[in-house]
Amino acid sequence: MQLVAPPPQRKATSFSSCVGVMTSTDRTGTDEDSRGQQPEGLTMTRLTEMADGGNEVGEVKVSHLQMEEEGEDQAPPEHKCPALCDALHGSIQDKENSPMMRAVLCAQVCKLYRFQTDDRRWLLVKEQMSETPLSFSVPKQLLSALVQELTSRVLDLRELGQLLPHWDGLRCDVISLCNHLIGCYQETLTEIGKLSASSCFKSSLSKSDRHLQFVPTNLHSQRMEVTSSGSAGVWYEVITFGAPADHHYGFKHGGLKRLVSKHSRHRNRSTSYSRDESFRARDLLVSVSHLQPLIFGLAEELLSISLEPRASELLQVLDGLSQQVNRFVHALKDELVKSALLAIHCERASHCSGSHAHSNGLLCEGSPPDPEGRPEVEYNEEDWDLTWTNVAKSLNCIIAMVDRLLGREPHLQEQPPAERQDNSEDSKSYNTASPCSSSEFSWQEQLLPLVITLRDCVREAVAKARTAMTFVVLQEAVGATMTHGPAKMLHRRHAVFSQALSAVVCGFVLKLYGGLEDPEFQRQLLSVGILVQFEGLLSTYGEEVGMLEDMEVGVADLRSVVFKVTEAKTDQLKDLLPILRGTWGCFVVEVPLPPETFSSLLEELKAGCLIRVESILFNIGINQQQSVAERFGDSSLQESVNLQSCERLRAYCDALRDALPHTAGIQSLSESLSSLDRSLEAKKRKNVEVLWIAASVCRSVNGVRLTSCKSAKDRTAMSVTLEQCQILREHHSLSQQHFSTSLDCMRRSRLSWGQMLGCYAHSGFTLSGLDPGEQPSGLQGSWPPLCLAPKAPRRHLYPVAFLLVTSHLLVLWLIFSLVILLAKYQ
C-alpha cells in the first residue's frame, strides 16, 4: 500500500487527518468535508482494506494534506511525526488486520483526527465505524436452533401415544403452533441466507421487511483509539444499532411488554415445569417402558423353570428379576412423579369456567376427567409411595417363596432388621393364606399367584408414572409455547431477542479481544459476568413507546444467555465466528479463540466456565416527540425502566466490589451511583445526565456499551460523538477551547460517513437540526443536554406551534366550563 501525496510547498511539521477505510464493494461516495472549510489541524485521506491473503486491493490517497509551519512555542516536528505514523501503522496493520478482528468486523470506515491537549501536546484519534457479519450470522444460528427445538418438541409430543381427549386437544394446539412457527422460520432462514451472501448490513429502509425481522437494523461497531506521544493506544467501543423492535408487526396494540402483560392476565394459570424436568420425565418414560417388558419376561422365565425345578437356574433368574425390579423401583422413587400426580389432582379438582375449542376440533369443557375413569376421591400423597412399595414387597414375597421351596432363607438373614420383619410378615401372611402343604402343589403353582401380584403392581405403577410424566412433558411444551401467547407474539419475541443478541455478541467479542492480556478482567468475567448497558434515545410518545416496550423485554431475555470461550480449530475466519447453542431460555454463545491466544487465558476460562450476562437499559427521549410526551403524555414507562436498571447496576457493582475489592476504581463507583440516583429522583425533562453517568459507570466496570434510537442514525450519531469528545476531555486532557471544534468536526465527518454508506438520509440530521449545508453550532456549555438539545429547522417547528395552540385551547376550555358551572348552580 502506498501513500500518494503532492510534495509539500513549505516546511512540513505535522499532519492530522480523517482516514477513511473503504472496502472494494459497490459503495461509492465523496467526503463533503474535504471540499468545505476544515477545522484547524484537520486533513482527510482514504484507505482500503487488505484481502484475506494480504493482496493489495487499493491504495491510500491523501485527498487533502494540510501543512503548517512550526512556531517557536511548538515542539520540533520530529517529536510528533514518527510517533503518529508508527501508531497509525501499528493499529491498522497489526491489530486491525488480525484474523480475530476480521472475523467479526468488515467494511471498515476510518477517520483520523489530531486534537490539542491542555499541555499543548497532540492526540491522535482514530475513529472507526465497522459493519459486522454477525448481523446475519447470529440470526441464522438462532433461527436454526429454534427450528430444531420446535421440531424436537413436536416429535416428543407425538411419541406420547394415545392421550385423553382434553390432553390430546392441548397436544394438537401445541403441535399446530409449533408447525406454524417452523414454517415461518424456515422461510425466513432461506431468505436471510440469500441476502447474507452479498451483504452484512441491514439498512433502516428495510426495518419493516418481513424476512429481515430477526436481523438488527444498522448494526455498527463504533470504535475510537486515542494515542498520545509516549503512550500506547487506548480503545473505546460503542455498538450502535436500531432499537430492537418488530417493525413488521407494528405497534398499533403496543409493544411486547403490554402484549405479554395482557396475555398473562387472561390466560389460565396451570402448573409449569422446566426443560430439565421435562428431560427427566422423558428419561423416566423411556426407562419404565424398557424395564416393564424385562420384568415380565423374567417372571415368565421363572415360572417356566419352576415347572421342572433346577435350583441353580432358578436362583440365577431370580437374581436377574431382583436387579430389574430394584432398578424399576429406584426410577419410580423420583419426587417429580409425586408432584406431577398431585398437580393432576389439583387440576382435576379445579373447575374451569367456560369451554375451549382445540385445534383437533374437540370442544372441552371443565377440567380433564380422571385418567382411569374412577369417581373423584380425596387424593393422598402417600398413595404413590404405597404403589412403588407394593412392587418391592411383591418381589420380596417371591424371593421368600423360592427360599422356602429350596429349604433355606439366606435373603432374610442378609437384610436389615426392619426389612427382615416386613418380609417375614409378608411370608407369614402368604403361609396363612395358603395353609396347604407345599407338597400338595408344584413349585409353579405356588409361585404363580405371587408373580401375578408382581405384574399387577408393576402395571399399576407404570400406569401412574406414565400419566404423571406425560403430564410433565405436555405442560412443559404448553408452557414453552402456549403460555407465551399466540404465534404472532412468540414470533415477535424471538425476533426482538435476535436483534438484541446480535449486537451483544458483537460487543462482547470486541470487549473480550481487548481484555485478553488483562487477568483482572478475566477474573471479573468468572466472578460476576459481563455488564451489558443499553442506552436508549426513544421517546415515550406514539410508536416509539411500543419500540421501548419491545426493547425492554428483549433486554430482559438476554439475562438467560451465557458466554463460553473455546479453542478454535484453525485461524480461518469461519472457525473464529461465534457459535450459538442451546434452546430458548438457555442459550450458550461459544466464542472461539486461536490456539496461541486461548492458551494464555486463565485455567477456569479454558475449562469452559460460563460467563453470565447482566443486561440493563437506560432510556431518555431527546427529540420533539418527547417534549409532547412530557407535557401531555406519560413517561412512567421510561421512569420505571431507569429505576429498575439502576437497582440492577448497583447490585452488579456491589457484587464486583465483594468479589474483587482491589479492582482499580471500584471503590469510587459509590459516588457515581449516588449521582445516578439523584439524577433519577430529579425527574428533569430530557435528563441526558442519566445516560452519561450510566455510561461512565459501565466503562469503569469494563462493560459493553450499546446505543440505540429508532434507526441508529441521527440521535445515535449525536450521542456517540458527544460521548467520544467527553472521553477525550476527561481522560485525555482535550483542551476545553478545542472541545466544541472537535465535536463539530466529528459530527460533520459522521454526516459524510452516513451519506457514503447509506446510513443517513441525504437531508442530514433533521431531528437534531443539522443539515448538510448548515455548520454545526458551537457548544455553549459542558452539560450533555446542551449538546443533545435539538435545534430544529423551520419545517420541524410544527410541534411547537401545536403545543402553543393546544395550551391556549385548554385554558379557554377550562374558563368556559367554569362559566357554565357557575351559571348552572346560581
In the set 709, 725, 745, 787, the catalytic residue is: 709
Rounded distance between C-alpha atoms, residue 781 and residue 787, angstroms: 8
615-638 burial by CB neighbour count: b if 16+ within 10 A, else e? bbbbbbbbbbbbbbbbeebebebb
Residues with Cβ within 8 Å of residue 450, at least 6 apart in sequence = 394, 397, 398, 401, 430
- Asked if 43 contacts 65 with a C-beta cutoff of 8 angstroms, the reply is yes
CA proximity to 731, closest of 398, 235, 239: 235
Say whether 709 is catalytic: yes
Residue type, 448: L
Rounded distance between C-alpha atoms, residue 392 and residue 388, angstroms: 7
The grid coordinates listed for 473 are 412433558
- Asked if 523 contacts 660 with a C-beta cutoff of 8 angstroms, the reply is yes
CA proximity to 742, closest of 757, 721, 763: 721
Sign of the Cα torsion 495, 500, 503, 505 reads: negative
Rounded distance between C-alpha atoms, residue 192 and residue 397, angstroms: 66
The grid coordinates listed for 127 are 475513529
Rounded distance between C-alpha atoms, residue 619 and residue 707, angstroms: 10
Rounded distance between C-alpha atoms, residue 253 and residue 414, angstroms: 71
221-237 burial by CB neighbour count: b if 16+ within 10 A, else e? bbbbbbbbeeeebebbb
Rounded distance between C-alpha atoms, residue 440 and residue 327, angstroms: 35
Alpha helices (H) in 159-255, listed in sequence order: 165-196
165-195 burial by CB neighbour count: b if 16+ within 10 A, else e? ebbbbbbbbbbbbbebbbebbeebbeebeeb
CA proximity to 116, closest of 87, 73, 157: 73
Half-sphere exposure of 541 (CA within 13 A, CB side): 16
What order of strands is seen across the sheet that includes strand 60-64?
Answer: 3-4, 60-64, 43-48, 17-22
Segments of 479-608 assigned E as strands? 530-536, 562-567, 579-583, 586-593
- CA dist 447 to 434, 466, 584, Å? 12, 28, 53
Burial of 11 (0-12, 13-18, 19+ CB in 10 A): exposed
In angstroms, the first-to-last Cα distance of the chain is: 92
Rounded distance between C-alpha atoms, residue 249 and residue 538, angstroms: 18
Rounded distance between C-alpha atoms, residue 726 and residue 236, angstroms: 12
CA proximity to 76, closest of 231, 226, 229, 225: 229
Strands 122-131 and 106-116: antiparallel
Tell me which residues are annotated as active site.
709
